[in-house]
Amino acid sequence: MRQSGRTRIAVDAARVDTTSLQRRGIDVKGELFRAVLLLCIVVAVVMLATLLVYVTIAGWPRLDSNLFTQMPSTRDPETSGFLPAIVGTIYVMVGVLVTTVPIGVSAAVYLEEYADPDKWYNRLIEINIQNLAAVPSIVFGILGLAFIVRGPWGLGFVAFAGSLTLMMMVLPTVIIASREAIRGVPSTLRQASLGLGATRWQTVSRQILPVSLPGILTGTILAMSRAIGETAPLLLVGATTFVRFLPEGFFEGAYSVITVQIFQWAMRPQDEFRTLAAAGSIVLVVLLLLMNSVAIWLRNKYSRAY
């Protein structure tokens, strides 16, 4: 009985302390939740910084001109480079850009400005777009192999097949980002344009799209950043692990990309090739940071206050 009484007194004291803290304007649960979130951020940043430092130390000796100007080699890592992978990455990313932006922005404009949300097929399209944004990339690689490389299209193992495969993967992201940017345009701007006699298309093309351009550009660049770091779907659609010649074009010849070349080097047992893989990882990380920096700069430069 004496022990239970002491326990009850301790619980009552804790309640009194909590009540007094709340009276002083201190939210105990909120502060604890904030501390947990801060701890998660610190852990993530520390792990990322550790990985970047390790990769930088490991790959720094091979950050020379040969890395960007020489062909890959399976025997001589000292003179090996990934020039074909760089050119192949450019081909693939250009194909992704020219196919994703028109389709993604057009779909976003239709869903936000023209589609009737009460129609069942429009709701079905929106649900599918949201679900496709969370599908693993390997699934898109299988679809690209089945329908683009060997299926009805039959393009073969060419760079444009890789572009279309990555386009399917990042298209939901571009549509969602573009819709959010269009949705953020003030409704008064639409009403003023329509009230002055402009048509729906004139309002969209001359008022809404210019205002929503920063958000659309940001979403597009972030989607391209995701596409340039993918490896699994490209392995399925023809991005070979070893190419000693430059790609002949979008629709001809074999090709490779930076991520696939890094994967090929990392799988070799020699330490020199692992150093090459680390150097390629540094180049890829710097490229991703530059793309994200450009996205932030474009958003800040073209943003307008209303």
- The CA–CA distances, whole Å, from 254 to 71, 155, 157, 166 equal 14, 12, 7, 17
CA 233 to chain centroid, in Å, comes to: 15
pTM of the model: 0.80
Query: Please, are residues 284 and 258 in contact by the beta-carbon 8 Å criterion?
Result: yes
Single out the residue of 61, 30, 15 nearest to residue 282, CA to CA: 61
Task: Say whether 145 sits in a helix, a strand or coil.
Answer: helix
C-alpha 188/C-alpha 192 separation (Å) is 6
Structure token digits, residue 107 = 């779909």
237 contacts: CB under 8 Å, gap ≥ 6 = 141, 144, 145, 148, 149, 157, 161, 162, 165
User: Which residues are 239's β-sheet partners?
Assistant: 255
Q: Per-residue pLDDT averaged across 222-231, rounded?
A: 86
Highest mean pLDDT (candidates 32-36, 217-221, 262-266): 32-36
Q: Per-residue pLDDT averaged across 103-112, rounded?
A: 91
pLDDT category at 47 given cuts 50, 70, 90 is very high
Single out the residue of 105, 84, 103 nearest to residue 95, CA to CA: 103
Can you spell out the DSSP letters for 286-300?
HHHHHHHHHHHHHHH
Give the chain's end-to-end CA distance (angstroms, integer).
Answer: 68
pLDDT category at 10 given cuts 50, 70, 90 is very low
Confidence (pLDDT) at 206 = 87
Single out the residue of 128, 31, 60 nearest to residue 282, CA to CA: 60
Structure token digits, residue 133 = 């944004």
Whether residue 11 has pLDDT greater than 60: no
Task: Say whether 257 sits in a helix, a strand or coil.
Answer: coil
Task: Say whether 184 sits in a helix, a strand or coil.
Answer: coil
pLDDT tens profile 265-282 = 888 878 888 888 888 888
Length of the chain: 306
Q: Per-residue pLDDT averaged across 190-200, rounded?
A: 85
User: Which residues are 255's β-sheet partners?
Assistant: 239
C-alpha 12/C-alpha 43 separation (Å) is 36
